[in-house]
A and B are shown apart, each in its own frame.
Chain A
Amino acid sequence: MIINLLLYILIGMSFLCFFRVVFGPSIADRMVAIDIFGILVVGICVILAIKTGRLFLIDIAIAWIIFGFIGTLTLAKYLTGKKLDE
């Protein structure tokens, strides 16, 4: 079944992102890897929804997009050295 193969490829890519999280030289590398991991999880949720027929996984994907955006934006604001209400 080809959809299983695509799912395994995406899960392997998530482990490559974890490699960059663990061994990244600077803080920004780790944040980039976490951002990319969040986008990959959206793809995994969509393929799982097609494979198993449980369509509530699309709602989880949309919520994951929004929370990943908030987390990345907060960390980027932290890197610039300003306060959050500035």
Chain B
Amino acid sequence: MSNTISLIFIIIGVIFDLFGCIGLIRLPDVYNRLQSATKSVTLGTCSILFGLFIKYGFTATGIKALIAIPLLFFVSTVAAHALVRGSYIFGTKLWDKTIIDDYKDVQK
């Protein structure tokens, strides 16, 4: 029973990873790519780790997987925010169909 539930969580995680990587290839701009890829891939990998926790329960391996979930969640979000701020300051151009740019007013 627990094997089936963990396999369902792992399949959901791999599907989220698939959509995130398709967004990384298909979208036109570095900001769009990062917005698609970081959210989907982080959620998918957290779901894979949760599937491992369900399979092994409260053993040493399961608790390690349970600790890795909030670590991955916060670390990936902070890294993506620093990366998008750095690439804006570096001067990477927005997509030419972008209609609003609020961060330009904040920097002045």
Contacts and interface: CB of A to CB of B under 8 A. Distances in A.
Interface of A: 2-3, 6, 9-10, 13, 16-17, 19-20, 26-29, 31-33, 35-36, 39-40, 42-43, 46-47, 49-50, 55, 58-59, 61-62, 65-66, 68-69, 72-73, 75-81
Interface residues of B, number: 46
Contact of B90 (A2, A29, A46, A81): A81
Interface string B63-102: 0110110011001101110110111011010000000000
Interface of B: 6-7, 10-11, 13-14, 17-18, 20-22, 24-25, 30, 33-34, 37-38, 41-42, 44-45, 48-49, 52, 55, 61, 64-65, 67-68, 71-72, 75-76, 78-80, 82-83, 85-87, 89-90, 92
